[in-house]
Amino acid sequence: MADTTPSKQPPVEPSNESSRPSVRTPAQLEALQKARVKAAEVRAKNAELRRKERDLVNARLEESRRLREASIQREHAERFQSKEETPVEDEVEEDEVVYQKKPKRKRRVVVVQDSSSEEEIEVKLPKQKKSAAQNAEDELYLRTYQRMFDI
């Protein structure tokens, strides 16, 4: 419910001053300057504290990561080396198999000479195989070309 009784505060009168700040006295300016300097010092101090705190957090995280990694490595080595060592003792060592790549076949050049004429020599080169990637690329190029210039 709204209170309908008149308030006891005096009414606010509009001020005749403009929105410009009033002229400050030299004492006020000096106090303001001191406050600005003190605020800058406090901000610098807080920034330094935040930086140190961030360094501590990063150091703790790095330490925990390193400890976790070391424990995982140790546990992995304990579990899996014991399993690997047991079968190795029972088995007879086998010769190591080394796979070699087949040498690439050289390109053959077939020369056919017509016995009737010694001047004409025909050289037939085998057709080169196009890779699947190149065929797809050529096909894409042709489709794009047709779309662009098809009238």
Domain residue limits, the chain: 26-89
Which H helix or E strand runs over 61? Answer: helix 26-90
Interatomic CA distance for residues 67 and 73, integer angstroms: 10
Residue 17 has pLDDT above 60, yes or no: no
Interatomic CA distance for residues 63 and 70, integer angstroms: 11
Upper half-sphere CA count for residue 74 (Cβ side, 13 Å):
6
Residue 70 has pLDDT above 90, yes or no: yes
Mean pLDDT of 104-117: 63
- Tokens 């006295």 locate to 25
The pTM (predicted TM-score) of the whole model is: 0.35
Q: pLDDT class for 58, splitting at 50, 70, 90?
A: very high
